[in-house]
Amino acid sequence: MEQHKRTVTCGELRAADAGRHVVLNGWVHRNRDHGGVHFINLRDRYGITQVVIDEGAPVELTGIADELRFEFVVAVGGVVRARPPEMVNPEMATGEVEVAAQSVHILTRSETPPFMIDERSDAREDLRLTYRYLDLRSFSMQRKIKLRHDVTFRVREYLHREGFYEIETPTMIRSTPEGARDFLVPSRTHRGAFYALPQSPQLYKQILMVSGFDRYFQIAHCFRDEDARGDRQPEHTQIDIEMSFVGKDDVFALVEGMFAHVFSHTIDRKLETPFVRLAYDDALNRYGSDKPDMRFDLELRDFGSFAADSDFKVFTGVLESGGAVKVLVVPGAAEYSRKQISDLEETAKTYGAKGLAWMKLTDAGLDGGVSKFFASRTAEISEAFGASPGDLLLFVADTWTTACTALGAVRARLGRELGLIDPAEFRFAWIVDFPLFEWNEEKQGWDASHHMFTMPQEAYLSSMESDPGPVKGDLYDLVCNGVELASGSIRVHDPEIQRRIFSIVGFPEEEAERRFGFLLESFRYGAPPHGGIAPGLDRLVMLMAGESTIREVIAFPKNTVGICPMDDSPSAVDPAQLDELGIRIVEPPPDE
RNA sequence: GGGGGCGUGGCGAAGUCGGUUUAUCGCGCCGGCCUGUCAAGCCGGAGGUCGCGGGUUCAAUCCCCGUCGCUCCCGCCA
C-alpha cells in the first residue's frame, strides 16, 4: 500500500491544483468507456473526482480500465489538469478538473453489488439493512452519519463549556422494571441472577447528583424491550443530562442554549429562544396531542355550548356523561367527498372515537352530515369559529381525552394532506404542567404518569392525597414538529414526599426498598435538589436530517421486529452457553 | 395482542380490478461498437417455478383460504 497511498482525497481538487502530481484512493463509482477514452468517477467520503485514461495511454492502463467494475477499490496516480471550459461540470465540487491517469492499481475487486451506490437507489429497506455497509457508502447516508457526529460533537462542546462532566454509567445494572420491559443479561457466576440493560441512566444520574457532581451529562445508550416504531428502536441513544440546585427554568434555558448552539453549528439554523411553553391541557385542547405539530394552525375548538342546546342526542348524551364535543374547522375542505371524510373517520376511530360527525358550510348555510341539527344557528356558529362558506366542520364527541386525541389525529392528517406544513421549519415547544398521576381503570387506583421520582408542583403538596387527579408535576417534554424530542423533570429529593407518592400510587415501601433501595438510601445522606432532562439523539438528528424514521440516522439499526438483518441477531446460542448459565429454553405451548 | 399496505429476473417498478399470448419497462449483468463523457450513447444477449402452501377452474402472477417476510399505525413504550 505504501507506494499507492493517497496524497489527496476525491473531494478536494480544484482548478488551482492543475499540474500537481497526485495519488487518489477510492471506489469506482462509474466507469464510462468511450472506446479509447475512459472516464472513471472515483468516490470516497469526501467526494467524487473524474479520472481520465486518454486514448494515447499505454495498453496496460487501458487494459486495467476495461477491467474496472462498480465498487472496485483502486489507487490512481496521475496529473491534475483543468478541464476545457465547455467540459467543466458545475454539478461537481471537483468539476473544474480531472486527473489524467498515469497508473491505476486495483487494491481490491468487488462482486456486483446487490444495489447501486447512488442517491437515486431505492432498494427496499431490509435489503439496505442486510448490506448496510454498501448502503452507508451513499452520500445521503454519509451526510446523515456525519450530521450525527457533528451534533454529538457540538453537544459535548456546549455542555463542557457549561461546566458539565461526561460520566459513564454501567450498561449492566440491577433490573428495576417499572415502565417498559427490561432486557436481561444472565450471570454465569451467579446462576439464576440477571443484570438488566438500562432503560435509561435515571437512577445513576440522580445518585451522581447525591455524589456532588452537580452537572452531569452522557451520550447514553438506552434499552427497552418494547415493540419498535419508526421513531422507536429497542436500543436508542439519549443525551442524558442532570443538574443540582436548579428549577425547571434552569433546565429549559440550558437546553435552549444547547439546541441553538447545535443547530447553528451543524445545519446553520438560528433558533428562536426561549421556546414557546404550552400547558399539557392546552396542548390537548388546541392541538389534540401532547406532542403537537405547531408548524400549522388548524386548532381544535370546543363545540360544547352549541352541542348542549341541540337535539342531536349523540352530542347531548356525551355532554351529559361529562364528555366533550370538539370541532375542527377545515378551511376550503367542503369539497371533500364522502369517501375522503370516511377516510378521516377511520383515522379518528383508530384513536378510539366512535365516529366523526361533519357538516359543510356553503353559501346557502350549513349543509350535509349533522347540519339539520344546527342549520338554524348557521350565523352564530360561523361567527364563533370564524368559518366561511367552503369550510368543512368535523366533530368528535367523547370523553375529553378521546375527543381531543382523535380529532388531533385528524388534524395531523389534514396538515399533511392539505400541504399546510413547511418541511423546512422547526417549531419547538415545551409542554409543561403534566398531571402527576393518572387513573388506572384496571387496578382502580392511581399510577405515576411519568415516574415516581417526579416532584409535585408546590401548590398541590397539601392536597396530593385528598385529590390526586388535578396534581401537576414538575415534569416537561420538549416537542418539535409533532415529535417528542426530550422528556425530563425536577426530582423528588425529600424522603418524606417520596414516601407520600409511593403511598398514593399504592407502591409498597418494601417493594421500593427492594427495587431501588440504593437510591432511596443515598437520599438519606443529603441529597441536593436536582432535576434533568434527556433529549433523544436519534429523533433530534432525524428531524434535522428531514427523515421520518430514526433508522435513517443510525448506522446499524434493528428493523421493526427487532432483528438486525446484517448480523441476523438475535440468534440461537450454543447449548453449552446455556448450560453454563443454567438456562433451559421452553418451547411455547401450541396455539389453539 | 389488533388493523392497513406491500412481496413479480440482482435492484426499482408495470401488469392483477375484469382469468388464458414469448410476463413488460428502466437500471444493473455479459458481449460488441464508439475520442470528451459526467445517470454517456448505440447494437445484441443472458437472467423470472410472479414470497410459500393449498383450493376453485379447461386455464391462476391475477380469484379464494392459509402461511411467512417486511413496513405503517393502534395497544405497549414511567
DSSP calls for A408-429? HHHHHHHHHHTT---TT---EE
Strand partners, A80: A99
Hey, what's the cell of A296?
400549522
Residue A346 — φ and ψ, nearest 5°?
Answer: -60, -45
State the nucleotide closest to A50 in CA–C1' terms: B38
**3-state percent helix, strand, coil for chain A, nearest multiple of 5:** 35, 25, 40
State the nucleotide closest to A558 in CA–C1' terms: B70
* Burial label, A411 (beta-carbon count in 10 A; 0-12, 13-18, 19+): buried
**CA at A317, C1' at B31: how many angstroms apart?**
78
N-term to C-term CA, chain A: 63
**CA at A121, C1' at B55: how many angstroms apart?**
39
Q: Is the CB of A62 under 7 A from strand B?
A: no
User: Are A451 and A303 within 8 A, CB to CB?
Assistant: no
H/E run at residue A391: strand A391-398
> Which strand B nucleotides have any atom less than 7 A from protein CB atoms?
1, 10-13, 27-30, 33-41, 69-78
Q: pLDDT tens digits for A372-402?
A: 999 889 999 999 999 999 999 999 999 999 9
Q: Residue A209: which residues within 8 A CB-CB, separation 6 or more?
A: A216, A242, A243, A244, A527, A528, A530
Query: Tens place of pLDDT for every residue, chain A, 592 residues?
Result: 778 999 999 999 999 999 999 999 999 999 999 988 999 999 999 999 999 998 888 888 999 999 999 999 999 999 999 999 999 999 999 999 999 999 999 999 999 999 999 866 678 899 999 999 999 999 999 999 999 999 999 999 999 999 999 999 999 999 987 778 999 999 999 999 999 999 999 999 999 999 999 999 999 999 999 999 999 999 999 999 999 999 999 999 999 999 999 999 999 999 999 999 999 999 999 999 999 999 999 999 999 999 998 899 999 999 999 999 999 999 999 888 888 898 899 999 999 999 999 999 999 899 888 999 998 899 999 999 999 999 999 999 999 999 999 999 999 999 998 989 999 999 999 999 999 998 887 778 888 888 889 999 999 999 999 999 999 999 999 999 999 999 999 999 999 999 999 999 888 888 888 888 899 999 999 999 999 999 999 999 999 999 999 999 999 999 999 999 999 999 999 999 999 999 998 876 554 3
Q: Is the CB of A123 under 7 A from strand B?
A: yes
Q: pLDDT tens digits for A221-242?
A: 999 999 999 999 999 999 999 9
Residue that has been written with the C-alpha cell 441513544 in this structure: A237
Residue A39 — φ and ψ, nearest 5°?
Answer: -115, 120
**CA at A590, C1' at B53: how many angstroms apart?**
20
CB-side neighbour CA atoms (13 Å) of A114: 13
Cα separation values, A313 from A12, A83, A380, A404, Å: 72, 79, 21, 20
**CA at A33, C1' at B11: how many angstroms apart?**
23
Q: Is the CB of A311 under 7 A from strand B?
A: no
**CA at A38, C1' at B40: how many angstroms apart?**
11
State the nucleotide closest to A230 in CA–C1' terms: B72
State the nucleotide closest to A98 in CA–C1' terms: B38
**CA at A68, C1' at B28: how many angstroms apart?**
15
State the nucleotide closest to A200 in CA–C1' terms: B78
**CA at A548, C1' at B37: how many angstroms apart?**
37
Instruction: Give the residue among A45, A148, A41 at the shortest CA–CA distance from A95.
Output: A41
Instruction: Give the residue among A179, A177, A178, A222 at the shortest CA–CA distance from A201.
Output: A222
Instruction: For strand B, list residues 197-256 of chain A whose Cβ lies within 7 Å of it.
Output: 199-200, 202, 224, 226-227, 229-232
H/E run at residue A218: strand A215-223
**CA at A590, C1' at B57: how many angstroms apart?**
36
Q: Is the CB of A125 under 7 A from strand B?
A: yes
Instruction: For strand B, list residues 126-145 of chain A whose Cβ lies within 7 Å of it.
Output: 126-127, 129
Q: Is the CB of A494 under 7 A from strand B?
A: no
Hey, what's the cell of A233?
428502536
Hey, what's the cell of A459?
401548590
Q: Is the CB of A14 under 7 A from strand B?
A: no
Q: Is the CB of A337 under 7 A from strand B?
A: no
Question: CA–CA separation, A300 vs A353, rounded Å?
Answer: 15
State the nucleotide closest to A181 in CA–C1' terms: B77
Q: Is the CB of A447 under 7 A from strand B?
A: yes
Q: Whole-model pTM?
A: 0.95
Question: CA–CA separation, A209 vs A158, rounded Å?
Answer: 20
